[in-house]
Every structure is written in structure tokens, then in C-alpha cells.
Structure 1
Amino acid sequence: MGRQSAGDTGAVNTVLGPVPARELGVVAVHEALLSVVPGAEHAFDVVIDRAEVFAAIAGKLREFRAHGGGTVVDAAGMFHGRDVRLYEALSRATGVHIVASTGQGPEEMLGGYFLTPQTNPPTPWPAERFAELFAKEAAEGMVVPRVERRGAAGLVATAATRTGMTATDESLLRGAARAALATGVPVSLRFGGDAVRELDVVLDEGIAADRVVVGGLDRAEAVAAGVPFEVARRGAYVAIDHVGTEDAAHVTDAERAELVAGLVAEGHGGRVLVSSNATGVAKGHEGNDLPYSHVLTAFVPLLKAAGLADEDVRRILVANPSALLSVR
């Protein structure tokens, strides 16, 4: 079942095993396939029919491929509906590569087991315990509950609390960085209250900046403060990953295009990623029902109108995610 990781082969860990990075094609780098609020699967009013879920997600993946897409990254982590066997079947049926993730966060989304409530007072897991948990999934395969390990995780995804990084969040960030260092996969950090400070915590563990992507950087307050440029200047990847979402918390797609153009103009084109944070199927919450192809069909024309050349667009959609996801 491809339990081994890609190793130092210029390959990427997908749910069907290592794939040469050059074969990924256009990558939707921050998406969700099956997204379930932890515990919702046990609710009386939530039905998860695997055949219906498969059909719905397969349709979206096929549409993505029809528009030139090659790979979807499920960046939701461990306990938000991740179904590795389902993802294997989806990849085989649609021809779309699927990269799944390990990791957790922020603190409010953790179960009590990870907060060790048996201590008095309750204390968070230390970073090393999170590192061991995440690294095992990236090196030996992701856990299918009560069954086995399957394909290796392709990245470690974590997030910090929106109101400010907690002690548990810091353990998660440090654990994610250590797991990435041990296994060669990258870290995906969905920033909370202070992207630069949270990035610094990850970098403090000794991981190279070009192995880290900071997500959520199209939030309005981050753009207004110039945070995407500061993250790029530190050498990390900047994820403009809510393309298609236009609300009070985020900038518009037109503003996103201008932001990307500004990053490219400042010399950071090799550190930009774009995605939609789209949801294939959501249970227990309202998902983001954009198609995975939204970036290709609606945002790429805006990028070109903002002055990006075809080679800039290809770098952002193909070369940058390929470099990030390559195990090394």
C-alpha cells in the first residue's frame, strides 16, 4: 500500500504512494476532501453515506482535472474527517493525485486526550509527543482507526488560535516542525493571531524557511499590515488560500490578484501559492462549496489582468507547490 515515504527521491507522498514531483501538474494546495467536525459522525442528525460522499467528491475532482488540475492537497490534518481508504479510491477513480496530511490544531479543536486533563492543572502535550505522533504518520503511514496504517502523509498541517498562540498551540507548532525535520515533509501553518511570531516559533526548531507554508494570508488584517511580504522575505511560502471567498474577514479576489502581482514584482514569485480552501463534502458544519477548479477558471484570468505572465502563473500553480511538497 505504499507505506514507505518518498525519501530523498524528488518525490511527493500521495495516498497511493510516492509520486515524482514533476508529475503533480497544477496543484490545489490548501483544500479539504471530506471535512467532518470532530464528533459530528456520532450525531443523530448527521449521516455519512460513503457512496454518496464518494460520488460527490469524485465529481468535483473530475471537474478539476477537466480544467487542467493534477493534484489536490487535503490540508485538514488528522481528525477532521480524513478517510485514507476513501481518498485512495477517489485517486484511482479520477486520476487526480491526492496528498493527505497529518497534524492538528488549533488548541480549541483538540480532544481532551491531547490536553492531558488527568493532570492537575491540565497541561498540554509537550512538543516531542506531537512530533512523534506526526512523524510516524509521515514515515510509516497514516492511521486508519482500528485497522492499519496506509499511505504516508505528505505534509504536517497545524494551526494557531485566532486570538493568540496558546501554550498548546506552541507545542503543536514545535512538534510539527520537528516531525517535518525528521521525515522531510513540509509544514503547513494556518496562522492565528500573529503570523510572523508563529512562523518564528516553527523556524526556531531549525527547519528551513522554504519547508514552511503560512496559510490564511489573504485575511484582510494580514494584507493591510503587509504580513504576506514579511513572510515571503523570511523565505517561507505565502498561501493566498481563500480565493473565491469574499467576506468581511478576507480581501476580494481582485485584491488577491493585486497582492500576488505585488509579491511577484518584489521578487517573491517563487514563494507564492494560491488555493481556495474548498470543501468536497462537509458534515457537521457549512463547507466551502467552491469547485476545486475555481483558481483555474476564475482567478487565473485576474492574475493575468494584473500583469502576470504565463510563466509566473505556471510557477505559482505548478513549480512552487511541487518544490514545497517534495520530500527532502
Structure 2
Amino acid sequence: MQSTKIPFVRTVLGDISPAEMGLTYSHEHIVIEESYPTLQYPLFLLNDVDKISKELKSFYDAGGRTMVDTMPADCGRNVLKLAEVSRRTGVHIIAPTGIHLEKYYLPNHWRYSYTEEQLTRLFIADVMIGIDANDYNGPNVDRTTHKAGMIKLATGDEKITAHQEKIFRAVVNTHLETGVPVLTHSNFGKHAIDQVNIFEKLGAHLAHVVISHVDRYEDIGYNRALLETGVRVEYDSAFRWKEKENWTYKLLQALLPDFPDQITMGMDAAKSSYWLSYGGKPGLNFLLTTFKDDLQKMDLVQYYENIFFKNPAQLYSFS
């Protein structure tokens, strides 16, 4: 019998239909609270609700409607501030659960001691019940009504470790149990194909998996092989290629015609120095202005709807 389930997207303020997402940035850092990561990287601190709301209101006024936040459990996530920014600006925000790179956690963090089952239960609770107001950073858990609409994991430069494989299993367990879409961090695209191999082995639905930062891997053949697996990719370095050749543009020119339904984009603007409201540049509207003009110059503007509307709506719908 054919399923009668209606697709939905889970935002911090509640579930919406995929059509309501509108223009979507697929990988952002909207709030990064004071935390272990910001002690190491002070520019990561993004916790001023007024400044954040000013930037996102500008995004909304320029036609933007949804952003995917990508700071997962206990490394700067603040779901209460995400919800407040969404209420103030009208921007739909998808909040994450999951686990980031090891370097963003203390060496004795619970991520290492928790079992696969414990991690799975924690992630499922974020998706189905609500994210802890304390972000699992204290002895008490005070669940909010704000649920996660995406689950994240990360691998670094080194070969994928046994610990990371445990995170993969817990993430895919949650994905298969709840239908929540999966986003991954790759360091400059490294181990992206290895990630896909693990996802396939564990039975994940690759149409609801997106691997981020792969445009930093300066190889068209590698990116093509990755897309041929059926997974989705997220490019976010269009504004970062200063004096060097813009590999984001080079990859889009080579691959968009063959894979128009698998490529999404964001800014990954995790530093305050990228935000106009913090006195930085280019500002989060870059993809709505300069980048759109550049697509026109590259004769790729016909793919704008795929990149920012169609592909995110399919990717971030619960499967």
C-alpha cells in the first residue's frame, strides 16, 4: 500500500510544509553561544540576538526565508536564542542535533563515554520531544518545545575512527527511526566518499543526506564521483576564494548541468567577521546579490531555483 504520510520540515517554531521553506541557505551558523569552541576561536562567538536578528531580517527582506543552523549538541547551540531570532525576523530556522568535530569538545566529554544506544536516545529526544534548554551542559535536562529538524556528524583530516563510526551509527539510527535528514561536516571535502560508503552500509537514505564543504576539494572528478553516488552536496566557499581561482564557481560550471537536483549552497559564516551586523563582510546576503549576479554571468542562473528552493525542500523534508 502506498504511504499516505505528508512530507514536512521541522523548524524551531514548529513543522511546516516543504513549500513554505522558500529560498533556503543550507548550512549556516546563526547562533554560537559562549562555549568551548568560542574559547578557542573568539570570532566564532555569535550570541547577540539583536545583531543576529538585524542580519537575518536583511536576509528576509531580500527574499530569504529559511536557514539551516549547524551547531549541534553541546558546542555552542542555544535553541532558545534560535527560536527568538526566528520569531523576530520571520526566517524559518532548522535547528540541529548530533555531534561536531572532536576539537570542539573537551577530551573527557560525554560523547566519548556514551554508548551508541545512549547517543541514539539523546538525538531522538531532540528530534521528537525537544532540545534541552541547557544543551546537555549541566546535570539537569530541561526540554523545551523546540525540536531539531536535522542531525549532524563530522569527520576531520584523519582516517575515520572507531569513535566516529559510533557517531555514524547513532546518527543513522536516529535518521531511520524518525526520518530526520542528515548533514555532515567534511574537512575540505576529505573522506566525503568514505562517509557515503558508511551511510550506504548502514542503510541511510542518501537523498536525505548532504555532505558539506566539498567545494574546497579542488578536483572536479572527485566531486563528480561523489555526486554519482546519489548523495547531496553543499557548497559554501563562493566568497572565500580571494586571490585563488574560484573553485566553487569552477565546480558549479562543470557539475550543475549533470547534477541539478543534488547541489545546495550556504555561507557557513561561522565568524562574526563575515557578518555586516558585527562590522564584518561580505554579509549573509552575498548569495542573494553578488553570487546571483555571478550565476548570470556564468550562464547558470537557470539553476538558481534548484539550488535555493527545490533541492533544499526535498533534502530537509523528513523521509
Q: Distance in 1 between matches of 2:291 and 2:37?
A: 33
8 Å CA contact retained: 1:56, 1:281: no
User: Which residue of structure 2 lines up, in the alignment, with residue 113 of structure 1?
Assistant: 109
What is the aligned counterpart of 1:224 among 209, 219, 226? 219
Q: Which residue of 2 aligns with 1:65?
A: 60
Distance 1:191 1:24 in 2: 25
Residue range with higher mean Cα deviation, 70-79 or 125-134? 125-134
Write the deviation string for residues 51-107 of structure 1: whole angstroms up to 9, x where unpaired. xx0110001001111211001110111223221111111111111111110011223
Question: Residue 201 and residue 15 in structure 1: after superposition, are their counterparts in 2 closer, same or farther (change >3 A)?
Answer: same
* Residues 1:322 and 1:115: Cα distance change in structure 2 (over 3 Å): closer
Is structure 2 residue 303 aligned with structure 1 residue 307? no
Q: Which residue type is aligned with residue 198 of structure 1?
A: Q
| Cα distance between partner residues in 2 of 1:29 and 1:82 | 17
- The amino acid across from 2:305 in the alignment is R
1:243-254 mapped onto 2 (5 Å cutoff): 243-246=238-241, 252=245, 254=246
| 2:13 corresponding residue in structure 1 | 16
Q: TM-score, normalised by structure 2?
A: 0.85
Paired position in structure 2 for 1:242: 237
- Measured after TM superposition, the shift of residue 315 of structure 1 is 1.1
Question: Are positions 1:197 and 2:172 aligned together?
Answer: no
Partners of 1:57 and 1:270 lie apart in 2 by 31
Map 1:1-328 → 2, pairs under 5 A: 8-36=5-33, 38-39=35-36, 53-111=48-106, 112-114=108-110, 116=112, 125-145=114-134, 146=140, 147-192=142-187, 193-219=190-216, 222-224=217-219, 226-246=221-241, 252=245, 254-266=246-258, 268-279=259-270, 290-310=282-302, 312-328=303-319
SS at match of 2:199: helix
The structural deviation recorded for 1:313 is: 0.8
Cα offset for 1:290?
A: 4.2
Which one is further off, 255-264 or 287-296? 287-296
TM-score, scaled relative to structure 1: 0.83
Residues 1:202 and 1:126: Cα distance change in structure 2 (over 3 Å): farther
Letter in 2 for 1:138: V
Runs of 4+ that moved beyond 6 A: 40-43
Contact 1:106 1:169 survives alignment (8 Å)? no
Distance 1:242 1:127, change over 3 A: farther
Question: For residues 278 and 290 of structure 1, do their structure 2 counterparts lie closer, same or farther at Cα, with a shift above 3 Å needed?
Answer: farther
Contact 1:180 1:187 (8 Å CA) reproduced: yes
Instruction: Verify the 8 A CA contact 2:32 2:78 in the aligned structure 1.
Output: no
CA distance in 2 between partners of 1:287 and 1:156 (Å): 31
What SS does the corresponding residue of 1:226 show, helix, strand or coil?
A: helix
SS in 1 for 2:117: helix
Instruction: Tell me, in whole angstroms, the C-alpha distance in 2 between the residues paired with 1:255 and 1:180.
Output: 32
CA contact (8 A) 1:104 1:110 kept: no
1:119 paired residue number: none
- Structure with the higher strand share, 1 or 2: 1
Give secondary structure in 2 for the equivalent of 1:34: coil
Identity %, equivalent residues: 24
Structure 2 residue runs without a partner (length 5+): 135-139
Please state how far the C-alpha of 1:162 moved relative to its aligned partner.
Answer: 1.9
Backbone CA RMSD of aligned residues: 2.8
